[in-house]
């Protein structure tokens, strides 16, 4: 089966060029015109999708050829194209960074690339750089250049005149600090924390897009469906408690959807605000920012006792990254203050400022391999012996440690459940 939908892939020569701001502005502009807009983000990312979801009014999922697989990406795009008037995909890092890269993803599905470039401090050189990106390989199509942070009409004209006829200047976006999105040590601030402020920025971004003249839908792209097997109902009748609040937010919608497709009922609770865990068969403590809420987590003795009781009952717990930090004895925040955590396992977590670890890895588990990624700026010490380590995508050195204490599985890795549904089901059913 095939369908057609206008689509554009926004990539750049590097991070920090304005991809998220422009993608959000486009999503909001066309949504306000009555168009159904579906947005995707390249690679593992929890923060940009929150902003893009607020801008478009629809959930935003990752597209990653390695983590999710080509068939999964193909199916998601087909579903979106069948329901939408416009598909936008925000790339990750630079256009050719990573393996697979943004260019690989665009080439695989034949989606034209708009090169987003911050042109502050250059003119004709921007045209040279854009031409190099456009012609580096011959397996993708470049729709043109979006020149961000343009200083004047003369600045725009210099860039336009220097571009070859085959590479049009799609738009020039004026320097507008008011549309910039705030940042923090793991990237953009979570949308839920600044919803009202973010709404103002997104609305300004939509006006910014309108003022640039970038108001025509891109050309339609053909999307084909993929044969994706339906999930087995391996978790039929199970209830899974999922931590979700200001401290624990790194949750892929695809993971939730898979759990539900396998028959699980998902119940959410807040380690920050609640006094007890729900009546469930397993717990998932996902990643997030526990270090920003360490004092409140430490002071919630009722929740600590409730999770201990759950742990001692022998029911399974999966703890990832921020959830992993929460399960250890202590956590030291960026100011150097140490707080008591759950103490389900030995070990001490501490924030590290700007240095840390990130990259694609496979979680090597007794139940099977699950594709995952690491992204943290903290370290752990005094932990028990690991049962295994993540397998890095390209490097032979051992990846993140994976721990198992009774029925607690804990690691820095963020797992993408659809990469191995059977293994994930066994983790949550482990008794």
3-state secondary structure 321-341: CHHHHHHCCEEECCCCCEEEC
Angstrom distance (rounded) from CA 235 to CA 264: 5
Assess contact for 131 and 167: CB atoms under 8 A.
yes
Angstrom distance (rounded) from CA 213 to CA 231: 45
Could you tell me which of 353, 388, 390 has the C-alpha nearest to residue 370?
390
Residue 376, beta-bridge partner list: 357
Q: Of these residues, 5, 150, 321, 357, which one is catalytic? A: 321
Assess contact for 378 and 368: CB atoms under 8 A.
no
321 noted as active-site residue: yes
Both tokens assigned to 202: 């997104």
Q: How many C-beta neighbours within 10 Å does residue 136 have?
A: 12
Q: Which residues contact 301 (CB under 8 A, 6 or more apart)?
A: none
The stretches of 231-346 forming alpha helices (DSSP H) are 253-261, 294-299, 301-312, 322-327
Q: How many C-beta neighbours within 10 Å does residue 63 have?
A: 24
Could you write out the DSSP letters of every residue in 13-36? SSTTSSHHHHHHHHHHHHHHTT--
- Radius of gyration of the chain, Cα coordinates, nearest whole angstrom: 22
Angstrom distance (rounded) from CA 213 to CA 203: 16
Both tokens assigned to 392: 């890095």
Widest Cα–Cα separation across the chain: 71
Residues, the chain: 431
Classify residue 373 as exposed, middle or buried by CB count within 10 Å of its CB (0-12, 13-18, 19+).
Answer: buried
Q: Regarding beta strands 113-118 and 142-150, do their DSSP bridges make them parallel or antiparallel, or are they unpaired?
A: parallel
**Active site amino acids:** 321
């Amino acid at each position: 089966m095939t369908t057609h939908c206008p689509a554009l892939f926004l990539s750049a020569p590097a991070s920090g060029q304005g991809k998220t701001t422009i993608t959000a502005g486009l999503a909001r502009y066309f949504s306000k015109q009555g168009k159904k807009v579906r947005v995707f983000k390249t690679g593992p990312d929890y923060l940009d999708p929150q902003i893009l979801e607020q801008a478009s009014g629809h959930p935003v999922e990752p597209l990653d050829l390695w983590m999710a697989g080509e068939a999964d990406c193909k199916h998601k795009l087909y579903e979106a194209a069948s329901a939408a008037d416009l598909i936008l995909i925000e790339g990750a890092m630079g256009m050719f960074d990573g393996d697979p890269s943004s260019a690989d993803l665009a080439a695989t599905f034949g989606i034209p690339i708009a090169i987003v470039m911050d042109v502050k401090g250059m003119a004709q050189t921007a045209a040279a750089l854009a031409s190099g990106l456009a012609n580096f390989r011959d397996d993708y199509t470049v729709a043109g250049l979006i020149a961000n942070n343009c200083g004047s009409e003369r600045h725009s004209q210099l860039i336009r005149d220097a571009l070859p006829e085959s590479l049009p200047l799609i738009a020039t976006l004026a320097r507008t600090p008011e549309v910039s999105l705030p940042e923090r040590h793991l990237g953009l601030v979570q949308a839920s924390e600044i919803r009202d402020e973010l709404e103002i920025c997104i609305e300004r971004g939509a006006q910014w897009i309108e003022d640039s003249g970038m108001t025509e839908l891109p050309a339609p792209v053909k999307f084909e469906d993929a044969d994706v097997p339906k999930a087995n109902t391996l978790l039929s009748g199970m209830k899974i408690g999922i931590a979700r609040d200001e401290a624990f937010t790194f949750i892929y919608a695809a993971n939730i959807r898979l759990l539900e497709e396998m028959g699980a009922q998902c119940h959410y609770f807040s380690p920050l605000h609640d006094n007890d865990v729900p009546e469930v068969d397993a717990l998932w403590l996902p990643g997030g920012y526990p270090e920003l809420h360490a004092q409140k987590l430490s002071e919630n003795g009722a929740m600590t006792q409730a999770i201990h009781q759950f742990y001692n009952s022998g029911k399974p717990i999966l703890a990832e990254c921020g959830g992993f930090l929460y399960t250890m004895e202590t956590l030291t925040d960026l100011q150097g203050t140490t707080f008591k955590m759950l103490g389900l396992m030995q070990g001490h977590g501490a924030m590290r400022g700007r240095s840390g670890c990130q990259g694609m890895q496979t979680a090597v588990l007794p139940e099977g391999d699950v594709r995952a990624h690491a992204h943290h700026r903290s370290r752990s010490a005094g932990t028990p012996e690991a049962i295994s380590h993540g397998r890095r995508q390209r490097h032979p050195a051992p990846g993140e440690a994976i721990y198992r204490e009774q029925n607690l599985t804990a690691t820095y890795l963020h797992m993408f459940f659809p990469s191995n549904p059977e293994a994930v089901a066994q983790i949550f059913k482990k008794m």
